[in-house]
Amino acid sequence: MATTGVKTYRNYIGGEWVDAVGGETFESTNPATGETIGVFPKSTEEDVDRAVEAAKAAYEGWRLVPAPKRAEILFRVAQRFVDRKDELTELMVQEMGKVRAEAGGDVQEAIDMTYYMAGEGRRMFGHTTPSEMPDKFQMSVRQPVGVVGAITPWNFPIAIPSWKIAPALVCGDTVVFKPATDTPALGERFVEIFEEAGLPAGVLNIVHGGGATVGERLVKHPDVPLISLTGSREVGVKTAQNGAALLKHVHLELGGKNAIIVMDDADLDLAVDGILWSAFGTSGQRCTAASRVIVGTKVYDQVASKLVERAEKLTIGYGLDEGVEIGPVINKSALEKIDSYTGIGKDEGATLLTGGEVATGNGLDQGFFYRPTIFGDVEPDMRIAQEEIFGPTTALIRASDIDEAIRAANSVEFGLSSSIFTRDVNKAFRAMRDLQTGITYVNAGTIGAEVHLPFGGTKQTGNGHREAGQAALDFYTEWKSIYVDYSGKLQRAQIDVVESPAP
């Protein structure tokens, strides 16, 4: 039953806003205050099927729209993101919990990505090569694939949908979008902006609901050849298994356990700035968050002291309030998981330097707030140094030299982002070469990727695909090789090859 005075939302299928077939609903709430944001349809498999049918029907016309014309719609979408940045920022603070500056950055990333991918509508380059035969032309071109199932997380509820949906649309694919159940209002507003910009009916559809119903049906649906999912490793493995039966293209962006290396010769104040931003930005709820800090033995005590002092001064609170630097975590389950890892760290013998508790008082009791937490004396094989916590917790690890630091950084199952602070160009280049991650920063933290370079990781962070940049086009298109023989006779490749003249 809808909460009095709270808006009830719908799915968007085939250009119409419609209720879920079963009539069930769920609520989205503010993680800082507990207030209800809205009431949303708890969709069924039948709702997914309707959305896929609409997307499949729209694909036949959309793929034939010239790519520059598809791009014009994306340009209009990007401008609407610009015009509504303040509105989207405020909604994100309310529904997801980011502080205002970070929420604005999330929206800005969607602006940047949408403009960038719109530009690809006039590029989307193929290749031409010389033929081994006379009077023969050959080239390769990109072609769209079909319906994309885009399954997105709550921690970047505007940016990550743009990473998936903008390239899919400019390439000529159509989309069924399932936003996270923690941030459905932001997903809804995202789609409304595309509708306002004139996107044809059925090209982009949104179906609200849980992963076990909506997400799994998308993955198993025979008319959805492409699945792009950002989520946990466990969900990613299941998605890959379910998609394999139909030989689907499956893109997985999964977890991270990212490390910042601080060498003895580093600018320590700069390093501490980078650690604070990377470890505690978004309350540590980023796949690129720095949950490990590997520090040279000579400067370990200085870094620990500076970091604790700075962390204890961070202001915790509601992101719309002036001066707040740390907002809530997303929900009660996340809060309990983060707190459980504090207990695990203590049991393993690590030293709790600060934090390690639920934040209460000063109006925090209604939300899900956790104090910035720093562990010292951590060994690389401890669970708090190996497992993704996804909260404002980081672990300090000693390293005697660059070799030990790189070994420690590489000792986890994930490989998304890494960082090194050093003034030694030789150490910097060693790190750039040897850190087993998809992203490496020098003299910066582990977060801050830009949209025109590929985003993604190695090892169990994903399955090799990349988001952002031109690399994203490789997932949303297939290559087609075309040969045009104008010789007027049958020429057989590798058989009727003209002999090269003798040197």
Instruction: Provide the pLDDT confidence category of residue 503 given band limits of 50, 70 and 90.
Output: low
Rounded Cα–Cα distance for residues 203 and 223 (Å)? 14
Residue 475 lies in a domain: yes
For residue 457, give the 3-state DSSP assignment: coil
Q: What is the mean pLDDT of residues 378-388?
A: 98
Q: CB-based burial of residue 495 (10 Å sphere; 0-12 exposed, 13-18 middle, 19+ buried)?
A: exposed
Q: What is the mean pLDDT of residues 445-471?
A: 96
Are 404 and 472 contained in the same domain?
Answer: no
Are 301 and 433 contained in the same domain?
Answer: yes
Query: Would the pLDDT of 379 be above 50?
Result: yes
Q: What is the pLDDT of residues 265-319, one digit of tens each?
A: 999 999 999 999 999 999 999 999 999 999 999 999 999 999 999 999 999 999 9
- On average, the pLDDT of the chain sits at 96
CATH code at position 101 = 3.40.605.10
Q: What is the mean pLDDT of residues 107-117?
A: 98
Looking from the CA of 321 toward its CB, the CA atoms found within 13 Å total: 15
CATH code at position 370 = 3.40.309.10
Instruction: Provide the pLDDT confidence category of residue 1 given band limits of 50, 70 and 90.
Output: very low
Q: 92 has which bridge partners?
A: none
Q: What is the mean pLDDT of residues 181-191?
A: 98
pLDDT of residue 56: 98
Q: What is the mean pLDDT of residues 341-352?
A: 98
Q: Which of 287, 309, 387, 499 is catalytic?
A: 287
For residue 381, the 8-state DSSP code is T
Residue 81 lies in a domain: yes
Give me the number of domains the chain comprises. 2
Residue 391's alpha-carbon distances to 11, 77, 97, 292, 349, in angstroms, are 31, 33, 13, 12, 20
Instruction: Provide the pLDDT confidence category of residue 496 given band limits of 50, 70 and 90.
Output: confident
- Which structural domain range is residue 181 located in? 47-254+462-481
**The token pair that represents 144 in the structure block:** 């769209």
pLDDT of residue 270: 98
To the query of whether residue 46 is one of the catalytic residues in this protein, the response is: no
Q: Which of 253, 413, 450, 499 is catalytic?
A: 253
Are 244 and 316 contained in the same domain?
Answer: no
Are 423 and 301 contained in the same domain?
Answer: yes
To the query of whether residue 171 is one of the catalytic residues in this protein, the response is: no
Residue 38 lies in a domain: no
Query: Would the pLDDT of 42 be above 50?
Result: yes
Q: What is the pLDDT of residues 188-240, one digit of tens each?
A: 999 999 999 999 999 999 999 999 999 999 999 999 999 999 999 999 999 99
Q: What is the pLDDT of residues 7-18, one digit of tens each?
A: 999 999 999 999
DSSP code per residue over 188-224: HHHHHHHHHTTPPTTSEEE--S-IIIIIHHHHH-TT-
In our burial notation (b when 16+ CB lie closer than 10 A, e otherwise), range 54-77 reads: bbbebbeebbebebeebbbbbbbb
Are 151 and 139 contained in the same domain?
Answer: yes
**CA 235 centroid distance within chain:** 14
Rounded Cα–Cα distance for residues 211 and 181 (Å)? 9
Rounded Cα–Cα distance for residues 218 and 226 (Å)? 9
Nearest to 73 by CA among 194, 179, 187: 194
CA distance between the termini of the chain: 85
Nearest to 374 by CA among 393, 358, 391: 393
Are 227 and 346 contained in the same domain?
Answer: no
Are 286 and 298 contained in the same domain?
Answer: yes
For residue 137, give the 3-state DSSP assignment: strand
Residue 226's alpha-carbon distances to 220, 235, 289, 353, 393, in angstroms, are 11, 16, 28, 46, 35
Residue 417's alpha-carbon distances to 331, 432, 444, 457, in angstroms, are 25, 11, 11, 7
Query: Would the pLDDT of 3 be above 60?
Result: no
Residue 10 lies in a domain: no
Are 351 and 468 contained in the same domain?
Answer: no
Residue 416 lies in a domain: yes
Query: Would the pLDDT of 501 be above 90?
Result: no
pLDDT of residue 4: 55
Are 201 and 74 contained in the same domain?
Answer: yes
Are 249 and 309 contained in the same domain?
Answer: no
Which of 388, 413, 442 corresponds to the end of one domain?
442
Are 339 and 322 contained in the same domain?
Answer: yes
Residue 390 lies in a domain: yes
pTM score: 0.95
Are 169 and 192 contained in the same domain?
Answer: yes
Residue 328 lies in a domain: yes
Residue 3 lies in a domain: no
